[in-house]
């Protein structure tokens, strides 16, 4: 039984500084709502403090990412945020990032940097500790803060300078095995986003400064997306969660990737209207937000940094590598961009900070207080994540706050309903309301 008191909290005791007015600096929906819902506060340009409600969402997203990486066979570890510049000079990338890279000199005049990504460091770790092909394959990942000094940080956590990211790195003996690792991450990404209530569309992408010859970015459709997207309508109805996935079945994974790449899907950077094979009626033109990016780049880093193993015939072989990134903090904003209405956020259940918002319409009324306290204790004992608005305030304020923070369910208790033996249960996404007994409501929410 889950007795974690952090999963059942009273609003009067919870640090949740909601705002009625939208701060002037917020330009897009997710930035406005994250500020108003008391999820984040700006510390400096493009750098945010995550307040309790926002931090809960961040950790929910992180846990889904972690579970799907583990399921696909990746192993979690942790690398530091500060790296030596020497590694980046060895790989030839030290100057590629230009002013986006935050360069640091320590007290001993050693050149350091705040890592924007970790290909160099993970390759050094591998090169120092793996010698034989018998130790392959390997896929290592961590979830860590990164920093890129954007010239114009904007849109809140969608394009900040400091961001929380999952980055994984695969190591294989040959290109064929490397493609298998790539396919595992491809499917793991689709599953990850689906569990967050998102329909992600994989699109072939430019490899950019990461390098390599194969890359896909995963975009979700949203009116405020930074990219223009062109894709076949079939993607809107595809659901990766309906298929059983065996990550040990290389052929099955390849077939799944083929199904998810057989239709046309391009961002405006790669879309050529003259060569687009999709009929006009089947072509979706929309805007999209990138939420993940995967790369297969062969021996680009292993050759430069000496990540080599002894092969089965005794030959010295540079390993084949790939890297796979998910913007965990960026996903928080992306989910809001894709799921909101005029009243506030609409959280998918998998990432909601709490599942239930319990609203006491008349704090201080003996019957209301007793009913709410009883239901709160029952849900807490059952492990249901509940935020109980027990403040002594107007019902309108409580309703507005619950709509703003967007919990999947609202359980509303008032004196009139209690006289009739009912409470009100509202589904935030559909807006549907129904009056049921307290016992029926608790049974529904526990399920």
Q: Give me the DSSP letters along 106-118.
A: -TT--EEEE-S--
Q: Which tens digit of pLDDT belongs to each residue from 174-188?
A: 999 999 999 999 999
H helices of 364-428, in order, are 366-382, 395-405, 415-419
CA distances, 164 to each of 21, 62, 133, 159, 219 (Å)? 28, 9, 33, 12, 18
State pLDDT tens for residues 338-372: 999 999 999 999 999 999 999 999 999 999 999 99
The percent of residues above 90 in pLDDT, for the chain, comes to 88
Within 8 A by CB and 6+ apart from 422, the residues are: 435, 436, 437, 438
Contact 348, 196 (CB under 8 A): yes
Range of lowest pLDDT (90-104, 181-195, 280-294, 333-347): 90-104
Q: Given pLDDT bands bounded at 50, 70 and 90, which one contains residue 1?
A: very low
- Going along the chain from its start, the domains and CATH numbers come out as 5-10+354-446 (3.40.50.800), 39-345 (3.30.930.10)
Q: What is the pLDDT of residues 237-288, one digit of tens each?
A: 999 999 999 999 999 999 999 999 999 999 988 899 999 999 999 999 999 9
CA distance 346 to 430: 10
Distance CA 235, CA 327 (A): 22
**Cα–Cα distance between 284 and 220 in angstroms, integer?**
13
So what's the pLDDT on residue 155?
Answer: 87
Q: In the prediction, which pLDDT does 24 show?
A: 83
- Categorize the per-residue pLDDT at 207 as very low, low, confident or very high, splitting at 50, 70 and 90: low
Percent of the chain residues topping a pLDDT of 70: 97
Which segment of 65-74, 211-220, 406-415 scores lowest on mean pLDDT?
A: 211-220
User: Which tens digit of pLDDT belongs to each residue from 14-42?
Assistant: 999 999 988 888 889 999 999 999 999 99
pTM: 0.95
- How much is the average pLDDT of 310-334? 96
Number of other CB atoms surrounding residue 151 within 10 Å: 8
Cα-atom radius of gyration of the chain, to the nearest Å? 24
Please report the pLDDT score of residue 209 as a whole number. Answer: 52
Residue-level pLDDT at 109: 96
């Amino acid at each position: 039984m889950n007795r974690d008191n952090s999963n059942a909290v009273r609003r009067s005791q919870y640090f949740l500084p909601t705002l009625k007015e939208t701060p002037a600096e917020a330009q897009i929906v997710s930035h406005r709502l994250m500020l108003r819902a008391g999820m984040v506060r700006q510390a400096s340009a493009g750098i945010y403090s995550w307040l309790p409600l926002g931090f809960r969402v961040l950790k929910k997203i992180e846990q889904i990412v972690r579970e799907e990486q583990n399921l696909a066979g990746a192993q979690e570890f942790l690398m530091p945020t500060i790296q030596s510049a020497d590694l980046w000079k060895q790989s030839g990338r030290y100057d590629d990032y230009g002013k986006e890279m935050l360069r640091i000199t320590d007290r001993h005049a050693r050149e350091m940097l705040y890592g924007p990504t970790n290909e160099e460091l993970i390759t050094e770790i591998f090169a120092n500790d793996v010698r034989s092909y018998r130790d392959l394959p390997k896929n290592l990942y961590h979830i860590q803060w990164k920093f890129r000094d954007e010239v114009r940080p904007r849109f809140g956590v969608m394009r900040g300078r400091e961001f929380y990211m999952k980055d994984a790195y695969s190591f294989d003996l040959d290109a064929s095995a490397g493609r298998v690792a790539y396919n595992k991450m491809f499917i793991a990404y689709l599953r990850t986003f689906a569990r967050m209530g998102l329909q992600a569309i994989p699109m072939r992408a430019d490899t950019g400064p990461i390098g390599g010859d194969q890359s896909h970015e995963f975009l979700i459709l949203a009116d405020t997306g930074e990219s223009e997207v062109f894709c076949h309508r079939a993607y809107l109805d595809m659901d990766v969660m309906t298929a059983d996935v065996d990550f040990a079945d290389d052929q099955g994974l390849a077939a799944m990737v083929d199904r998810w790449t057989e239709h046309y899907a391009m961002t405006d950077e790669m879309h050529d209207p003259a060569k687009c094979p999709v009929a006009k009626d089947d072509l979706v033109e929309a805007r999209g937000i990138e939420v993940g990016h995967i790369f297969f780049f062969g021996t680009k880093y292993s050759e430069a940094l000496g990540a080599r193993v002894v092969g089965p015939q005794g030959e010295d072989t540079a390993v084949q590598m790939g890297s796979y990134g998910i913007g965990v903090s960026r996903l928080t904003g992306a989910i809001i961009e894709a799921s909101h209405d005029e009243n506030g956020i609409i959280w998918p259940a998998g990432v909601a900070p709490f599942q239930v918002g319990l609203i006491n319409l008349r704090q201080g009324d003996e019957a209301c207080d007793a009913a709410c306290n009883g239901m709160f204790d029952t849900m807490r004992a059952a492990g249901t994540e509940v935020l109980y608005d027990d403040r002594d305030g107007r019902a309108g304020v409580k309703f507005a706050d619950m709509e703003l923070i967007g919990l999947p369910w609202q359980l509303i208790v008032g004196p009139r309903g209690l006289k009739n033996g009912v409470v009100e249960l509202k589904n935030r996404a559909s807006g549907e309301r129904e009056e049921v007994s307290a016992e029926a409501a608790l049974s529904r929410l526990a399920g």
